[in-house]
Amino acid sequence: MIRLYVTFKIAFKALKRNKLRTLLTMLGIIIGVGAVIAMVSIGKGAKAMVEAQIA
């Protein structure tokens, strides 16, 4: 349990020291997840449109 506490303490220190890197990493993750969600939605919409035209 103490090792987990120490690990989190070190991690939060690193986040505080490297604010710009942390911000850019978070921004990259947010953009990446958003892009994946958008692509899946576009794919499902295109599939539904094709199925509607065929039926």
Could you tell me the end-to-end alpha-carbon distance of the chain, in angstroms, rounded to an integer?
60
Whether pLDDT at 55 is above 80: no
User: Per-residue pLDDT averaged across 18-24, rounded?
Assistant: 96
**Domain layout of the chain by residue ranges:** 23-55
pTM above 0.95, yes or no: no
CA distance 33 to 26: 11
Count of positions (residues) in the chain? 55
User: Per-residue pLDDT averaged across 21-37, rounded?
Assistant: 98
User: Per-residue pLDDT averaged across 10-27, rounded?
Assistant: 95
In percent, the amount of the chain with pLDDT more than 70 equals 100
CA distance 42 to 29: 20
